[in-house]
Structure 1
Amino acid sequence: MAAAPQQAGEDWKSRLALPPKDSRFKTEDVTATKGNSFEDYFLKRELLMGIYEKGFENPSPIQEESIPIALTGRDILARAKNGTGKTAAFCIPVLEKVDTSKNEVQALLLVPTRELALQTSQVCKELGKHMGVEVMVSTGGTSLRDDIVRLGATVHVIVATPGRILDLAQKGVAKLDKCSVCVMDEADKLLSPEFQPVVEQLIAFLSQNRQICLYSATFPVTVKQFKDKFLRKPYIINLMEELTLKGVSQYYAFVEERQKVHCLNTLFAKLSINQSIIFCNSVNRVELLAKKITELGYSCFYIHAKMLQSHRNRVFHDFRNGNCRNLVSSDLFTRGIDIQAVNVVINFDFPKNSETYLHRVGRSGRFGHLGIAINLITYEDRFNLYKIEQELGTEIKPIPPIIEKGLYCA
């Protein structure tokens, strides 16, 4: 395979252009549709303008299943692979239902991380750009005073992390009693012990006639308990029976710990990387590895939860805009981050469980495009590798001497 030089000065950004919108380059989880169009849902003309201007042509399967049900006001429990259009699947019906003549919060979109909040709000603003819908982001780590001032003006939709919006609701600043739609994206994370008590308190502030919609790629038992307690005859959508990791070719390289950096260097030289995300299991290892990669002469950013929020925002923004090819990350970055140019994910440290593996690998092969995941496996990881294969019903193959470009490059 031809080497892909990544030294400073190389003009590689042109390769970040997304693959053609030809179904030959997409996987079944976004092409196996019923043939509906967005006009079939009788959406407002201004919303349709935003949808088409954003480049959406026809609904993906999760959008076909979700949009018409959400428009009826019914609770939803939806499971679909990352990167198949979940965000638009709930943003479109939320925007359709907003009444801009009313100066009140009508929808709350809950997400587990600040980065996902910024990304989700951006999608909402782009889709609703012709509608006059006011969208606000509210997350921890930012100025509370700014949020209070913003809530003094018109806000129709709030995209938030649970702790900050609960604080604002308890202070009586965020008035949620007219908020009739609550969407929880990455619901499995939001219903983990870290967030669930906060989420349950928040629900008490919502309108009595609330609609709750849960979206995620995995649904552990905590989600079922929450569903039974808070959802009213929810409509179940499950597009994950066979589509868990479609489009992502998975490999492992059996290495000793001291060989990992050398192995990574070899991969960088041999693979045709548009952009890659490299995962480590700790903050310290993220920073150390990023330093090593830079010393090897490759462009590299890093991101983790202990960084200043302003620094995280800048790294995320610059990486998404193609200012750097490689990103070293902790598991902070596994939730819903949608960067379609990422075609290679490398688990420098193998994850401990199948949910983390699924979310990490899901960063590649976004919206039906192809990608690869390469796992660096030590002797201690061998049982986890087998367990994750069994739990996800997938196969992680030994890495071949040459990986065909057609598996991850259009």
Structure 2
Amino acid sequence: MENIKFSDLQLNEDVLKAIDDLGFEEPSQIQAEAIPVVLSGEDMIGQAQTGTGKTLAFGAPIISKIKKGTNNISALILTPTRELAIQITDELARLSKYTRTRLLPIYGGQPIDRQIKSLKKGVDIVVGTPGRILDHIDRGTIKLGGISYLVLDEADEMLNMGFIDDIETIIKNTNDHRQTLLFSATMPGPMKRLATKYMRPNPRHIAIIKNTVTVDKTKQFYFEIKNKDRFETLCRILDLDEPSSAIIFCKTKKGVDEVVESMQMRGYNVEGMHGDMAQNHRINTLKKFREGTLEFLVATDVAARGIDVKGVSHVINYDLPQDTESYVHRIGRTGRANAEGIAYSLVTPKEYVVLKEIERFTKSKIRRKDIPTLDDIMESKYKALVKDIRKTIEEGDFSNFTPLAMELDEEFNLVDVAAALMKMTFEEKLSYDYTENAIGSANHVRLFLTVGRMDKINPRSLIEFITDNAKINSSSIGDIDILEKFSFINVDEDVVDRILKNAYGKKLNGRKVKIEVANNSK
């Protein structure tokens, strides 16, 4: 599937324009294989993990084909959780930027009256959770008899969460001539029976096989960030570690251009590579990076394909990639020739689910690191400077400067002179005009919850449970560790009382959840 472009897939020109604005250079495997099938009108089973680009795989062709502005809902997308419904709607909104497609997410925890009002105005695509969709069917506020597309996304998760009966009831309220698209990471028996019962005979089956991978030579870490702090976090990492050679990955061409411009303004020795750049320019940039005359390379996944450069100490995921396999390809640029490499990822709370999927895929642990403080950076640079001074003294190659030092000694204390010179050096070495010692440093509290894997929960359902009951934003939630019988979750200090008051004792997947602040021993 290499070298296929979005423009080869017969998508609507307005959708292609929106994809180009997003900066995606070429389709992922599931997109390249699924889009032609969806456009052909065939029913389809897409077997692929989270993080492979499924939303675009079904969203782009559906937006390309549906008749907009009618009184009927044209497409229904069922998804297991509120968080995923919002995420899918956001992505579809970006894809329909030039098509005026009317979108509506429908989920529990949101006033139903507001949803009814939006439905009465007319909607082209509904993205919803099964329970709330059933509520609307029972009220007569959603009519699905005229839909052209039914998408079951994360179908195995909906099955695990006990939605199978709800899904069947919803399907029975649709029509027989609809096109059905089922996306699932696994295909358990009940899922196969559902497909056999409600899909046309012989649906197309696309399976994106995930092979086991190893990333043993690369130490993997992530920094939990707020989106507004993304670039400053990058600068703090570079100022602390001072990598000799690093590749910084962005998801889009536009992102590469913006990061390169911002870094060059701050004195970094950096250039970018993406698909819109001339081949000669890319060859010359890579040549400089190989020869060591260029310290930092900012690139998209496509532009970095085939790069084989020795001595790359760091790979930094400025954005997480579009799919999990790209993550492996990215961090494979470091940790070569029996040398250990370091891979850093900048992750917002909303991207935490994707990070967990990457961990499952790579069978490795990506550990959390605190964003470097200014004190951390200064200490690191102080140690490096002292090391350089000692080396210079040992080598004795400074005799030309002895007369100048003696002249200054007559006027000033030499300790003051040395301190002033060190201050000047420090100021030159700091690339960013830092105004705070620390950023993104909300104090986290670790909570203990009496539910685990045995209760069929996952990070997404746990986040939804907390946000729905405590009425807090998902950005207040950090690390989540789900064990067999219990779980730990890090939350901002200022929301702990609301969680303990409003979520304690509430049911998740049929089990009452007890919550307490975790002891250090847990």
| 1:307 shift after superposition | 2.3
| 1:306 shift after superposition | 3.4
CA contact under 8 A between 2:79 and 2:85: conserved in structure 1? yes
Letter in 1 for 2:55: T
CA contact under 8 A between 2:467 and 2:474: conserved in structure 1? no
Counterpart in 1 of 2:208? 239
Aligned partners of 2:217 and 2:169: how far apart in 1?
40
Aligned partners of 2:193 and 2:33: how far apart in 1?
23
Aligned partners of 1:134 and 1:189: how far apart in 2?
27
Aligned partners of 2:83 and 2:217: how far apart in 1?
26
Aligned partners of 1:214 and 1:222: how far apart in 2?
13
Tell me the secondary structure at the aligned position of residue 149 of structure 1.
helix
Deviation by residue 1:229-277 (Cα, 9 ceiling, x = unmatched):
111121001112xx255576699xxxxxxxxxxxxxxxxxx98563385
CA RMSD of aligned residues (A): 3.2
Name the CA shift for 1:131/1:155 in 2 (closer, same or farther; >3 Å): same
5 Å-filtered alignment, 1:6-405, equals 33-192=1-160, 194-232=162-200, 233-240=202-209, 243-244=210-211, 246=213, 272=344, 274-275=346-347, 277=352, 299=442, 304-309=463-468, 314-316=473-475, 327-329=478-480, 348-350=481-483
CA contact under 8 A between 2:463 and 2:474: conserved in structure 1? no
Aligned partners of 2:78 and 2:213: how far apart in 1?
27
Tell me the secondary structure at the aligned position of residue 236 of structure 1.
strand
CA contact under 8 A between 1:301 and 1:315: conserved in structure 2? no
Aligned partners of 2:214 and 2:472: how far apart in 1?
29
Name the CA shift for 1:246/1:97 in 2 (closer, same or farther; >3 Å): farther
Structure 1 segments of 4 or more deviating over 2 A?
A: 244-251, 270-279, 297-316, 348-352
CA contact under 8 A between 1:301 and 1:328: conserved in structure 2? no
Name the CA shift for 1:195/1:37 in 2 (closer, same or farther; >3 Å): same
Counterpart in 2 of 1:387? none
Tell me the secondary structure at the aligned position of residue 121 of structure 2.
coil
| 1:350 shift after superposition | 4.1
Q: Which piece of structure 1 moves more, 214-223 or 145-154? A: 214-223
CA contact under 8 A between 1:115 and 1:313: conserved in structure 2? no
Q: Which runs of 5+ in 1 are unaligned?
A: 1-32, 252-269, 280-292, 320-326, 330-347, 353-410
Deviation by residue 1:183-228 (Cα, 9 ceiling, x = unmatched):
1111101233610000000001112201111112222222111111
Name the CA shift for 1:225/1:180 in 2 (closer, same or farther; >3 Å): same
**What is the aligned length?**
261
Percent of counterpart pairs with the same letter? 31
Deviation by residue 1:140-178 (Cα, 9 ceiling, x = unmatched):
111111111111102000000011111112221111111
CA contact under 8 A between 2:466 and 2:472: conserved in structure 1? no
Aligned partners of 2:469 and 2:23: how far apart in 1?
30
Aligned partners of 1:61 and 1:138: how far apart in 2?
29
Tell me the secondary structure at the aligned position of residue 304 of structure 1.
helix
Aligned partners of 2:107 and 2:213: how far apart in 1?
33
Q: Which structure would you say has the larger RCO, counting Cα contacts within 8 Å and 6 or more residues apart?
A: 1
TM-score normalised according to structure 1 size: 0.57
TM-score normalised according to structure 2 size: 0.46
Aligned partners of 2:86 and 2:472: how far apart in 1?
9
Tell me the secondary structure at the aligned position of residue 237 of structure 1.
strand
Q: Which runs of 5+ in 2 are unaligned?
A: 219-341, 357-369, 371-437, 446-461, 486-522
Name the CA shift for 1:349/1:167 in 2 (closer, same or farther; >3 Å): closer
Deviation by residue 1:99-122 (Cα, 9 ceiling, x = unmatched):
114232000011100000000000
Tell me the secondary structure at the aligned position of residue 191 of structure 1.
helix
CA contact under 8 A between 2:149 and 2:179: conserved in structure 1? yes
Aligned partners of 2:192 and 2:5: how far apart in 1?
32
Aligned partners of 2:470 and 2:4: how far apart in 1?
42
CA contact under 8 A between 1:304 and 1:312: conserved in structure 2? no
